[in-house]
């Protein structure tokens, strides 16, 4: 355990010497007061910096989720990836079940969610979750406001690749570690069948194409392909380095493709695609 902490400290100490921005206490207190006023009476509301948490499960359960999922994920993501807290204080709403999720997204936000799990709303500066579906989506969604604060130019493929990598995760050697998950079988099926995009094409997708490219025959593989590219980088010990080099060189390499080639040390990306495909086909889930 001591070694794990040490590894974390060494990694942090080697980061560039720009000050880590921490959440402004006055902004946190103001958002806490606003969420307390907005939340129905049976909700538990408290600050879990840099967030404010509100939930309608029993208070002890909300606090335990906050500590075990939110506090843990924030600390681990900051340890390896993100130096700056989100620029505004985000409220994390943990609705206890589907009925509560549907009722409160309508009553509090006038939203009609397109996903049963939960989502990040920039408009409401909120992570809005149906927590009955598990904590995985919560960790995924926590990545997005941190990415926005630390890497605003991040293309959708890497934003969603990293977010979805950690929707199934554990702690390994003191660091956050993504695991194979439910997105694997469909990707393997695609790899055995019609194939997927080249990494040059995947990384070159615009935000509009990534989220709205239903007409692309590989649309359903965008998220899993991005996730399992991040997983491959993680398993080769290259994910943190890729993130840091990509953020440092984003003006020259906005898609990340050149950085990917450099970090992988691959000159022949067709050969790499085959290598990655074989690696992915050998993974198991469940």
Q: Interface residues with Zn ion (CB under 5 A)?
A: 160, 163
Q: Which is nearer to Zn ion, 181 or 273 (CB)?
A: 181
- For the CB of residue 197, give the shortest distance to Zn ion in the complex, in Å: 19
Q: Which of 191, 218, 189, 190 is nearest to 277 (CA)?
A: 191
- For the CB of residue 128, give the shortest distance to Zn ion in the complex, in Å: 13
- For the CB of residue 137, give the shortest distance to Zn ion in the complex, in Å: 9
Q: Which is nearer to Zn ion, 8 or 136 (CB)?
A: 136
- For the CB of residue 185, give the shortest distance to Zn ion in the complex, in Å: 20
Q: Which of 132, 157, 272, 176 is nearest to 223 (CA)?
A: 157
Torsion of CA 236, 241, 245, 250, to 10 degrees: 70
Q: Which is nearer to Zn ion, 95 or 117 (CB)?
A: 117
Residue nearest Zn ion by beta-carbon distance: 163
Q: Which is nearer to Zn ion, 43 or 146 (CB)?
A: 146
Q: Which is nearer to Zn ion, 148 or 262 (CB)?
A: 148
CB 230 within 8 A of CB 239: yes
Q: Which is nearer to Zn ion, 145 or 163 (CB)?
A: 163
CA torsion through residues 174, 136, 70, 15, sign: positive
- For the CB of residue 239, give the shortest distance to Zn ion in the complex, in Å: 17
In terms of DSSP bridges, do strands 118-121 and 90-95 run parallel, antiparallel, or are they unpaired?
Answer: unpaired
Q: Which is nearer to Zn ion, 56 or 160 (CB)?
A: 160
In terms of DSSP bridges, do strands 51-55 and 44-48 run parallel, antiparallel, or are they unpaired?
Answer: antiparallel
Angle at CA 48, nearest 5°, toward 41 and 74? 135
The pair of three-digit structure tokens given for residue 265, joined into one six-digit string: 């040390």
Phi, psi of 196 (to 5 degrees): -130, 180
CB 221 within 8 A of CB 196: yes
CB 75 within 8 A of CB 91: no
- For the CB of residue 149, give the shortest distance to Zn ion in the complex, in Å: 15
Mapped onto helix, strand or coil, the DSSP state of residue 182 is coil
- For the CB of residue 28, give the shortest distance to Zn ion in the complex, in Å: 24
């Amino acid at each position: 355990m001591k070694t794990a902490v040490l590894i974390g400290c060494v990694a942090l100490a080697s980061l560039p010497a720009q000050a880590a921005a921490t959440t402004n206490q006055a902004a946190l207190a103001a958002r806490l007061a606003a969420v307390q006023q907005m939340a129905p009476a049976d909700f538990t509301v408290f600050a879990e910096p840099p967030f404010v948490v509100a939930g309608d499960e029993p208070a002890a359960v909300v606090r335990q989720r906050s500590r075990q999922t939110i506090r843990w994920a924030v600390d681990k993501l900051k340890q390896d990836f993100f130096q700056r807290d989100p620029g505004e204080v985000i409220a994390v709403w943990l609705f206890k079940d589907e009925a509560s999720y549907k009722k409160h997204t309508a009553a509090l936000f006038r939203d009609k969610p397109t996903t049963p799990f939960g989502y990040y709303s920039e408009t409401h500066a909120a992570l809005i979750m149906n927590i009955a579906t598990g904590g995985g989506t919560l960790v995924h969604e926590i990545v997005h406001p941190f990415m926005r604060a630390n890497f605003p130019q991040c293309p959708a493929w890497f934003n969603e690749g990293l977010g979805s990598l950690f929707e199934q995760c554990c702690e390994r050697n003191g660091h956050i570690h993504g695991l194979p998950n439910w997105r694997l079988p469909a990707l393997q099926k695609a790899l055995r069948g019609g194939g997927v995009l080249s990494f040059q094409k995947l990384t070159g997708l615009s935000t509009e194409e990534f989220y709205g490219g239903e007409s692309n025959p590989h649309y359903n593989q965008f998220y899993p392909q991005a996730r399992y590219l991040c997983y491959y980088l993680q398993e080769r010990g290259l994910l943190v380095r890729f993130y840091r080099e990509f953020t440092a060189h984003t003006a020259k390499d906005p898609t990340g493709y050149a950085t990917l080639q450099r970090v992988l040390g691959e000159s022949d990306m067709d050969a790499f695609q085959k290598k990655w495909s074989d690696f992915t086909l050998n993974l198991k889930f469940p």
